[in-house]
Amino acid sequence: MRRILLSATLVATLSCGETQREGEPLPALAPNPFITHLYTADPSARVWDDGRLYLYPSHDIDPPRGCDLMDKYHVFSTDDLLHWTDHGQIVEAADVPWGRKPSLADGATFMWAPDCIRKNGRYYFYFPHPSDDPWNSNWRIGIAVSDRPASGFTVLDHWLEGLGDDNFAMIDPNIFVDDDGQAYFYYGGGGRCAGARLHENMTELAEPLTFMTGLNDFHEAAWVFKRNGTYYLTYADNHTENGRGANRMRYAVSNKPLGPWAGKGVFLGSTSCDTSHGSVVEYKGEWYVFYHSSDLSGGRGNLRSVCVDRLGFNEDGTIRTVRQTR
Ligand code: FUB
Protein backbone atom coordinates (compact mmCIF):
# COMPACT_ATOMS: atom_id res chain seq x y z
CA MET A 1 0.00 0.00 0.00
CA ARG A 2 1.42 3.37 -0.94
CA ARG A 3 0.26 6.70 0.44
CA ILE A 4 0.46 9.47 -2.09
CA LEU A 5 0.97 12.83 -0.43
CA LEU A 6 0.23 15.64 -2.77
CA SER A 7 1.92 18.99 -2.43
CA ALA A 8 -1.21 20.66 -3.66
CA THR A 9 -1.77 24.34 -3.81
CA LEU A 10 -4.76 24.20 -1.51
CA VAL A 11 -7.00 26.59 -3.27
CA ALA A 12 -10.70 25.83 -3.36
CA THR A 13 -12.17 27.41 -6.44
CA LEU A 14 -15.77 27.55 -7.52
CA SER A 15 -16.55 26.72 -11.09
CA CYS A 16 -19.57 28.30 -12.70
CA GLY A 17 -22.78 27.18 -11.06
CA GLU A 18 -21.52 25.06 -8.21
CA THR A 19 -23.78 24.79 -5.23
CA GLN A 20 -21.70 25.91 -2.30
CA ARG A 21 -23.42 25.66 1.08
CA GLU A 22 -23.51 28.95 2.87
CA GLY A 23 -20.55 29.46 5.17
CA GLU A 24 -18.89 26.23 4.04
CA PRO A 25 -15.91 26.43 1.69
CA LEU A 26 -15.74 23.73 -0.96
CA PRO A 27 -13.04 21.16 -0.25
CA ALA A 28 -9.78 21.68 -2.14
CA LEU A 29 -8.97 19.26 -4.93
CA ALA A 30 -5.51 17.96 -5.74
CA PRO A 31 -3.96 19.44 -8.89
CA ASN A 32 -4.53 17.40 -12.04
CA PRO A 33 -3.39 14.82 -12.83
CA PHE A 34 -3.51 13.65 -9.24
CA ILE A 35 -1.80 10.25 -9.61
CA THR A 36 1.71 10.68 -10.94
CA HIS A 37 3.77 7.67 -9.84
CA LEU A 38 2.23 5.48 -12.56
CA TYR A 39 0.01 6.06 -15.58
CA THR A 40 -3.72 5.53 -15.12
CA ALA A 41 -6.78 5.91 -17.34
CA ASP A 42 -10.53 5.20 -17.51
CA PRO A 43 -11.33 6.05 -13.87
CA SER A 44 -14.43 4.48 -12.30
CA ALA A 45 -15.17 6.23 -9.00
CA ARG A 46 -17.24 4.57 -6.27
CA VAL A 47 -18.13 5.53 -2.72
CA TRP A 48 -18.44 2.60 -0.34
CA ASP A 49 -19.95 2.49 3.11
CA ASP A 50 -16.62 3.03 4.88
CA GLY A 51 -16.98 6.65 3.73
CA ARG A 52 -14.01 6.52 1.36
CA LEU A 53 -14.06 7.19 -2.36
CA TYR A 54 -12.43 4.36 -4.33
CA LEU A 55 -11.04 4.65 -7.82
CA TYR A 56 -10.83 1.68 -10.18
CA PRO A 57 -8.88 2.86 -13.24
CA SER A 58 -7.00 0.96 -15.89
CA HIS A 59 -3.21 1.16 -15.92
CA ASP A 60 -1.18 2.37 -18.91
CA ILE A 61 2.16 0.60 -19.19
CA ASP A 62 5.36 2.54 -19.83
CA PRO A 63 6.89 2.14 -22.38
CA PRO A 64 3.56 1.94 -24.19
CA ARG A 65 2.38 0.31 -27.37
CA GLY A 66 -0.96 2.03 -27.84
CA CYS A 67 -3.27 0.29 -25.34
CA ASP A 68 -1.98 -3.21 -26.20
CA LEU A 69 0.25 -3.77 -23.17
CA MET A 70 -2.18 -2.80 -20.43
CA ASP A 71 -2.05 -5.87 -18.20
CA LYS A 72 -3.07 -5.05 -14.62
CA TYR A 73 -5.25 -2.95 -12.35
CA HIS A 74 -4.47 -0.97 -9.20
CA VAL A 75 -7.07 0.44 -6.76
CA PHE A 76 -6.80 3.88 -5.17
CA SER A 77 -8.81 5.53 -2.40
CA THR A 78 -9.19 8.83 -0.59
CA ASP A 79 -11.32 10.44 2.07
CA ASP A 80 -10.65 14.05 1.10
CA LEU A 81 -9.84 14.10 -2.65
CA LEU A 82 -6.38 15.42 -1.73
CA HIS A 83 -4.57 12.47 -0.24
CA TRP A 84 -4.75 9.25 -2.21
CA THR A 85 -3.66 5.76 -1.26
CA ASP A 86 -2.50 3.28 -3.90
CA HIS A 87 -3.69 -0.07 -2.57
CA GLY A 88 -1.60 -1.88 -5.17
CA GLN A 89 -2.44 -4.39 -7.82
CA ILE A 90 -5.65 -6.42 -7.59
CA VAL A 91 -5.90 -8.31 -10.91
CA GLU A 92 -3.60 -8.99 -13.86
CA ALA A 93 -4.04 -10.60 -17.27
CA ALA A 94 -2.29 -13.79 -16.17
CA ASP A 95 -5.09 -14.34 -13.60
CA VAL A 96 -7.74 -14.73 -16.32
CA PRO A 97 -8.14 -18.46 -17.02
CA TRP A 98 -10.20 -17.96 -20.19
CA GLY A 99 -8.16 -15.03 -21.53
CA ARG A 100 -6.53 -14.75 -24.94
CA LYS A 101 -2.97 -15.99 -24.52
CA PRO A 102 -0.50 -13.16 -25.24
CA SER A 103 1.89 -15.73 -26.75
CA LEU A 104 -0.65 -16.36 -29.52
CA ALA A 105 0.62 -13.35 -31.40
CA ASP A 106 2.24 -10.29 -30.00
CA GLY A 107 2.32 -10.24 -26.20
CA ALA A 108 -0.68 -7.93 -26.06
CA THR A 109 -2.67 -8.13 -22.84
CA PHE A 110 -5.61 -5.71 -23.23
CA MET A 111 -6.86 -5.15 -19.68
CA TRP A 112 -9.04 -2.15 -20.55
CA ALA A 113 -11.50 0.10 -18.73
CA PRO A 114 -13.00 -1.61 -15.63
CA ASP A 115 -15.75 -0.91 -13.12
CA CYS A 116 -16.51 -2.18 -9.61
CA ILE A 117 -19.78 -2.48 -7.72
CA ARG A 118 -20.74 -3.58 -4.22
CA LYS A 119 -23.68 -5.95 -3.95
CA ASN A 120 -24.82 -8.27 -1.18
CA GLY A 121 -21.73 -7.37 0.86
CA ARG A 122 -19.27 -8.36 -1.87
CA TYR A 123 -17.26 -6.34 -4.40
CA TYR A 124 -17.62 -7.30 -8.06
CA PHE A 125 -14.87 -6.01 -10.35
CA TYR A 126 -15.76 -6.13 -14.07
CA PHE A 127 -13.14 -5.78 -16.78
CA PRO A 128 -13.07 -6.18 -20.58
CA HIS A 129 -10.60 -8.69 -21.97
CA PRO A 130 -10.41 -10.69 -25.23
CA SER A 131 -10.83 -14.45 -25.02
CA ASP A 132 -9.25 -15.33 -28.37
CA ASP A 133 -8.03 -14.04 -31.74
CA PRO A 134 -8.99 -11.91 -33.56
CA TRP A 135 -8.89 -9.95 -30.32
CA ASN A 136 -11.27 -7.14 -31.30
CA SER A 137 -14.04 -9.60 -32.17
CA ASN A 138 -13.69 -11.59 -28.98
CA TRP A 139 -14.14 -9.16 -26.12
CA ARG A 140 -15.64 -10.71 -22.99
CA ILE A 141 -16.38 -9.18 -19.63
CA GLY A 142 -14.39 -10.77 -16.83
CA ILE A 143 -15.44 -10.66 -13.17
CA ALA A 144 -13.26 -10.74 -10.06
CA VAL A 145 -14.89 -10.96 -6.64
CA SER A 146 -13.74 -10.01 -3.16
CA ASP A 147 -15.10 -9.35 0.32
CA ARG A 148 -12.95 -6.21 0.43
CA PRO A 149 -12.90 -3.16 -1.88
CA ALA A 150 -9.17 -3.03 -2.63
CA SER A 151 -7.67 -6.49 -2.14
CA GLY A 152 -8.44 -10.18 -2.15
CA PHE A 153 -10.01 -10.36 -5.63
CA THR A 154 -10.35 -13.74 -7.34
CA VAL A 155 -11.10 -13.89 -11.06
CA LEU A 156 -14.05 -16.17 -11.86
CA ASP A 157 -13.41 -19.01 -14.28
CA HIS A 158 -16.16 -17.78 -16.60
CA TRP A 159 -16.96 -14.43 -18.12
CA LEU A 160 -20.23 -12.52 -17.66
CA GLU A 161 -22.87 -14.82 -19.13
CA GLY A 162 -25.61 -13.77 -21.54
CA LEU A 163 -23.78 -11.31 -23.78
CA GLY A 164 -24.09 -13.46 -26.89
CA ASP A 165 -21.57 -13.90 -29.68
CA ASP A 166 -21.39 -10.50 -31.37
CA ASN A 167 -18.77 -8.86 -29.16
CA PHE A 168 -16.90 -6.86 -31.78
CA ALA A 169 -15.39 -3.81 -30.00
CA MET A 170 -17.81 -4.25 -27.07
CA ILE A 171 -15.72 -2.99 -24.13
CA ASP A 172 -15.97 -0.73 -21.06
CA PRO A 173 -18.38 -2.45 -18.63
CA ASN A 174 -20.39 -0.26 -16.28
CA ILE A 175 -22.79 -1.30 -13.52
CA PHE A 176 -25.57 0.86 -12.11
CA VAL A 177 -27.65 -0.19 -9.08
CA ASP A 178 -31.05 1.47 -8.91
CA ASP A 179 -32.82 2.57 -5.74
CA ASP A 180 -34.76 -0.72 -5.58
CA GLY A 181 -31.49 -2.71 -5.58
CA GLN A 182 -31.80 -3.90 -9.19
CA ALA A 183 -28.39 -3.87 -10.90
CA TYR A 184 -27.98 -3.00 -14.58
CA PHE A 185 -25.06 -3.80 -16.86
CA TYR A 186 -23.93 -1.53 -19.72
CA TYR A 187 -21.07 -1.83 -22.18
CA GLY A 188 -20.17 -0.76 -25.67
CA GLY A 189 -17.71 0.51 -28.20
CA GLY A 190 -17.37 1.18 -31.89
CA GLY A 191 -20.65 3.13 -31.91
CA ARG A 192 -22.83 0.57 -30.12
CA CYS A 193 -24.00 0.71 -26.52
CA ALA A 194 -26.08 -2.03 -24.91
CA GLY A 195 -27.47 -2.80 -21.48
CA ALA A 196 -29.58 -5.24 -19.51
CA ARG A 197 -30.73 -6.09 -16.01
CA LEU A 198 -28.19 -8.17 -14.14
CA HIS A 199 -29.16 -11.37 -12.35
CA GLU A 200 -29.03 -11.20 -8.55
CA ASN A 201 -25.87 -13.35 -8.71
CA MET A 202 -24.13 -10.48 -10.59
CA THR A 203 -22.43 -12.94 -12.95
CA GLU A 204 -25.05 -13.28 -15.68
CA LEU A 205 -27.59 -11.12 -17.46
CA ALA A 206 -31.20 -11.50 -16.36
CA GLU A 207 -32.56 -10.64 -19.80
CA PRO A 208 -31.39 -10.15 -23.40
CA LEU A 209 -29.37 -7.02 -24.17
CA THR A 210 -31.17 -3.86 -25.24
CA PHE A 211 -29.28 -1.54 -27.57
CA MET A 212 -29.42 2.05 -26.32
CA THR A 213 -31.19 4.57 -28.53
CA GLY A 214 -30.97 8.36 -28.57
CA LEU A 215 -27.22 8.65 -27.90
CA ASN A 216 -25.62 11.18 -30.26
CA ASP A 217 -22.23 10.16 -31.66
CA PHE A 218 -21.61 7.36 -29.13
CA HIS A 219 -18.08 5.95 -29.19
CA GLU A 220 -17.39 4.14 -25.88
CA ALA A 221 -17.08 4.58 -22.08
CA ALA A 222 -20.71 4.34 -20.93
CA TRP A 223 -21.37 5.40 -17.32
CA VAL A 224 -24.87 5.55 -15.79
CA PHE A 225 -25.90 7.41 -12.65
CA LYS A 226 -29.15 8.77 -11.21
CA ARG A 227 -29.86 12.21 -9.78
CA ASN A 228 -33.24 13.52 -8.60
CA GLY A 229 -35.05 10.65 -10.31
CA THR A 230 -33.38 11.21 -13.71
CA TYR A 231 -31.04 8.62 -15.25
CA TYR A 232 -27.91 10.02 -16.88
CA LEU A 233 -25.74 8.10 -19.35
CA THR A 234 -22.34 9.70 -19.96
CA TYR A 235 -20.01 8.51 -22.73
CA ALA A 236 -17.12 9.41 -25.01
CA ASP A 237 -17.90 10.69 -28.49
CA ASN A 238 -15.93 10.39 -31.75
CA HIS A 239 -14.81 14.01 -31.99
CA THR A 240 -11.59 14.79 -33.90
CA GLU A 241 -9.58 17.99 -34.25
CA ASN A 242 -6.84 18.71 -36.79
CA GLY A 243 -7.02 15.15 -38.04
CA ARG A 244 -6.50 13.50 -34.64
CA GLY A 245 -8.77 12.09 -31.98
CA ALA A 246 -10.03 14.65 -29.48
CA ASN A 247 -12.92 12.76 -27.92
CA ARG A 248 -15.23 14.61 -25.56
CA MET A 249 -17.69 13.43 -22.93
CA ARG A 250 -21.36 13.73 -23.78
CA TYR A 251 -24.45 12.76 -21.87
CA ALA A 252 -28.05 11.77 -22.38
CA VAL A 253 -30.98 11.48 -19.95
CA SER A 254 -33.95 9.19 -19.50
CA ASN A 255 -36.70 8.38 -17.03
CA LYS A 256 -35.82 4.69 -17.33
CA PRO A 257 -32.49 2.94 -16.75
CA LEU A 258 -32.34 1.38 -20.22
CA GLY A 259 -33.67 4.37 -22.14
CA PRO A 260 -34.78 5.48 -24.64
CA TRP A 261 -32.33 8.34 -24.11
CA ALA A 262 -32.50 12.02 -25.01
CA GLY A 263 -29.10 13.39 -26.07
CA LYS A 264 -28.06 16.52 -24.14
CA GLY A 265 -24.64 17.35 -25.54
CA VAL A 266 -21.02 17.77 -24.49
CA PHE A 267 -20.19 18.47 -20.82
CA LEU A 268 -16.44 17.73 -20.83
CA GLY A 269 -14.43 19.08 -23.74
CA SER A 270 -11.38 17.49 -25.31
CA THR A 271 -8.32 16.96 -23.15
CA SER A 272 -4.71 16.47 -24.26
CA CYS A 273 -5.61 12.84 -25.01
CA ASP A 274 -7.27 11.36 -28.08
CA THR A 275 -9.56 9.10 -26.02
CA SER A 276 -11.94 10.22 -23.29
CA HIS A 277 -13.37 8.11 -20.51
CA GLY A 278 -14.88 9.15 -17.21
CA SER A 279 -17.24 8.62 -14.32
CA VAL A 280 -19.56 10.82 -12.31
CA VAL A 281 -20.01 10.43 -8.56
CA GLU A 282 -21.50 12.26 -5.59
CA TYR A 283 -19.17 12.43 -2.59
CA LYS A 284 -19.84 14.22 0.68
CA GLY A 285 -22.64 16.26 -0.90
CA GLU A 286 -20.75 17.44 -4.00
CA TRP A 287 -20.64 16.03 -7.52
CA TYR A 288 -17.41 15.20 -9.33
CA VAL A 289 -16.32 13.98 -12.74
CA PHE A 290 -13.25 11.76 -13.07
CA TYR A 291 -11.57 11.55 -16.48
CA HIS A 292 -8.11 11.26 -18.01
CA SER A 293 -5.66 13.43 -19.90
CA SER A 294 -2.17 13.01 -21.35
CA ASP A 295 -0.76 16.10 -19.64
CA LEU A 296 1.74 14.17 -17.51
CA SER A 297 3.28 12.19 -20.38
CA GLY A 298 3.00 15.00 -22.89
CA GLY A 299 1.10 12.57 -25.08
CA ARG A 300 4.00 10.12 -25.27
CA GLY A 301 2.59 6.92 -26.70
CA ASN A 302 -0.83 7.92 -25.47
CA LEU A 303 0.14 7.43 -21.80
CA ARG A 304 -2.73 8.80 -19.71
CA SER A 305 -3.32 10.04 -16.16
CA VAL A 306 -6.52 10.41 -14.18
CA CYS A 307 -7.98 13.79 -13.24
CA VAL A 308 -10.93 15.02 -11.19
CA ASP A 309 -12.99 18.20 -11.35
CA ARG A 310 -16.23 19.46 -9.92
CA LEU A 311 -19.48 18.86 -11.71
CA GLY A 312 -22.29 21.41 -11.61
CA PHE A 313 -25.96 21.02 -12.48
CA ASN A 314 -28.44 23.65 -13.60
CA GLU A 315 -31.87 23.96 -11.99
CA ASP A 316 -33.37 21.90 -14.81
CA GLY A 317 -30.93 19.05 -14.23
CA THR A 318 -28.71 19.71 -17.23
CA ILE A 319 -24.98 19.40 -16.62
CA ARG A 320 -22.79 22.49 -16.78
CA THR A 321 -19.65 22.43 -18.87
CA VAL A 322 -16.77 21.22 -16.73
CA ARG A 323 -13.92 23.59 -16.11
CA GLN A 324 -10.79 21.45 -16.46
CA THR A 325 -8.27 22.44 -13.80
CA ARG A 326 -4.57 21.65 -13.58
O1 FUB B 1 -7.94 2.19 -21.91
C2 FUB B 1 -8.27 1.38 -23.00
C3 FUB B 1 -9.44 1.94 -23.74
O4 FUB B 1 -9.21 3.28 -24.14
C5 FUB B 1 -10.70 2.02 -22.91
O6 FUB B 1 -11.34 0.81 -22.72
C7 FUB B 1 -11.48 3.02 -23.72
O8 FUB B 1 -12.60 3.54 -23.08
C9 FUB B 1 -10.41 4.05 -24.02
O10 FUB B 1 -10.24 4.95 -22.95
Q: What is the pLDDT of residues 109-132, one digit of tens each?
A: 999 999 999 999 999 999 999 999
Domain range enclosing 136: 2-310
Tell me what pLDDT residue 14 has: 39
Cis preceding linkage at 134, omega within 30: yes
Mean pLDDT of the chain: 93
Tell me what pLDDT residue 20 has: 45
Share of the chain above pLDDT 70, in %: 92
- Kindly report the pTM of this predicted structure: 0.94
324 domain residue, yes or no: no
**Is 301's pLDDT higher than 70?**
yes
The answer to whether 295 is a known catalytic residue is: no
Tell me what pLDDT residue 15 has: 42
Averaged pLDDT for residues 270-286: 97
Tell me what pLDDT residue 105 has: 67
Averaged pLDDT for residues 236-248: 96
With H, G, I as helix, E, B as strand and everything else as coil, classify residue 254. Answer: strand
322 domain residue, yes or no: no
48 domain residue, yes or no: yes
Averaged pLDDT for residues 146-150: 98
Q: What is the dihedral of CA 204, 210, 213, 219, to 10 degrees?
A: 40
Centroid of ligand 1 to alpha carbon of 275 (angstroms): 7
CA distance 123 to 268: 29
CA atoms within 13 A on the CB side of 57: 30
Averaged pLDDT for residues 130-139: 96
CA distance 247 to 323: 16
Residue nearest ligand 1's atom 3 by CA: 112
The answer to whether 220 is a known catalytic residue is: yes
77 domain residue, yes or no: yes
Helices (H), the chain: none
Q: Confidence band (pLDDT; 50, 70, 90) for 8?
A: very low
CA distance 277 to 22: 33
- Ligand 1 binding pocket mutation candidate from 72, 139, 172 (most atoms within 8 A of CB): 172
Averaged pLDDT for residues 26-32: 85
Number of structural domains found in the chain = 1
CATH assignment of the domain containing 85: 2.115.10.20
Cis preceding linkage at 63, omega within 30: yes
Tell me what pLDDT residue 25 has: 65
Centroid of ligand 1 to alpha carbon of 245 (angstroms): 13
Averaged pLDDT for residues 164-192: 97
152 domain residue, yes or no: yes
How many residues are there in the chain?
326
226 domain residue, yes or no: yes
92 domain residue, yes or no: yes
Cα 84 to Cα 87, 141, 279, 318: the distances in Å are 9, 28, 17, 30
Averaged pLDDT for residues 210-234: 98
Share of the chain above pLDDT 90, in %: 89
Q: One-letter amino acid identity for 290? A: F
Q: Confidence band (pLDDT; 50, 70, 90) for 1?
A: confident
**Is 17's pLDDT higher than 60?**
no
**Is 102's pLDDT higher than 90?**
no
First-to-last alpha carbon distance for the chain, in angstroms, is 26
CA distance 248 to 271: 8
> For residue 163, what is the DSSP state?
-
Q: Confidence band (pLDDT; 50, 70, 90) for 2?
A: confident
Contact 42, 96 (CB under 8 A): no
CA distance 3 to 213: 43
With H, G, I as helix, E, B as strand and everything else as coil, classify residue 202. Answer: coil
Burial class (CB in 10 A: 0-12, 13-18, 19+), 244: exposed
**Apex CA 33: angle with CA 31 and CA 39, to 5°?**
155
* Residues ≥6 apart with Cβ < 8 Å to 247: 219, 236, 237, 238, 239, 270, 273, 274, 275, 276
89 domain residue, yes or no: yes
Protein residues with CB under 6 Å of any ligand 1 atom: 41-42, 58, 67, 112-113, 171-172, 220-221, 275, 277
287 phi, psi to nearest 5 deg:
-105, 145
- Ligand 1 binding pocket mutation candidate from 67, 68, 238 (most atoms within 8 A of CB): 67
CA atoms within 13 A on the CB side of 222: 34
**Apex CA 193: angle with CA 316 and CA 34, to 5°?**
70
Lowest-pLDDT range of 22-36, 207-221, 239-253, 276-290: 22-36
Cα 251 to Cα 115, 121, 165, 191: the distances in Å are 18, 30, 28, 14
Centroid of ligand 1 to alpha carbon of 185 (angstroms): 17
Q: Which atom of ligand 1 is nearest to the CA of 58?
A: 1
Look at residues 304, 310, 307 and name the one whose alpha carbon lies nearest to residue 323: 310
**Is 307's pLDDT higher than 70?**
yes
Q: Which atom of ligand 1 is nearest to the CA of 221?
A: 8
